[in-house]
Amino acid sequence: MVFIWNNDWATGHPLIDEQHKQLFAAINAFLDTGTQGASTDRMLETLNFLNDYTIKHFFDEEQLQKKFQYPDYPRHREIHEALKANVRALMSIFIRHGTSLQLTSRVKTEVGDWLVAHIKSEDQRVAAHIRSKELVH
Ligand SMILES: [Fe+2]
């Protein structure tokens, strides 16, 4: 398990935090297949799940941003789009060439470490905004 939940990563929003935990679990599941010598099918299954769950999570988080009129929504959405494109690219590298140390290390840094940084620089601000709006209503 590469990414172990750390309270510094909490945004304080229950749904966002729960989905972030699932995302880290999905990243770990893929990275673990590498160390466990899992079959190509199993690796693809975990990568597919990571891709699907990334799409679902970003969609749900963007719905919340719209609902609470988060002012930085358009920029935040573009950041999500870029990450989704990168996960798709990583998946197609896997489909064409199979796994490699370079691929797993890209998933670790470009998806896992990326998510840690994104939570701290962006999602914690989203959650603070939602809290401030909830207090008003
Ligand atoms: Fe986000």
**In contact, 115 and 61? CB cutoff 8 Å:** no
Q: What is the CATH number of domain 23-136?
A: 1.20.120.50
**90 alpha carbon – ligand 1 mean position (Å):** 20
**93 alpha carbon – ligand 1 mean position (Å):** 25
**14 alpha carbon – ligand 1 mean position (Å):** 14
Q: What's the confidence (pLDDT) of residue 137?
A: 57
Q: What's the confidence (pLDDT) of residue 135?
A: 79
Q: Is the model's pTM score more than 0.75?
A: yes
> Measured between alpha carbons, how far is 1 from 87 in angstroms, rounded to an integer?
20
DSSP 68: T
Where helices occur in 1-137 by DSSP H, the ranges are 14-36, 40-67, 73-97, 101-107, 114-118, 124-136
Q: Where are the domains of the chain?
A: 23-136
Taking phi over 0 as left and psi of -120 to 50 as alpha, with beta for the rest, 103 belongs to alpha
The stretches in the chain having pLDDT less than 70 are: 136-137
Q: What's the confidence (pLDDT) of residue 19?
A: 98
Over residues 23-33, the pLDDT tens digits come to 999 999 999 99
**What angle separates helix 40-67 from helix 14-36, to the nearest 10 degrees?**
170
Q: Is 53 exposed, middle or buried (0-12, 13-18, 19+ CB in 10 A)?
A: middle
**110 alpha carbon – ligand 1 mean position (Å):** 14
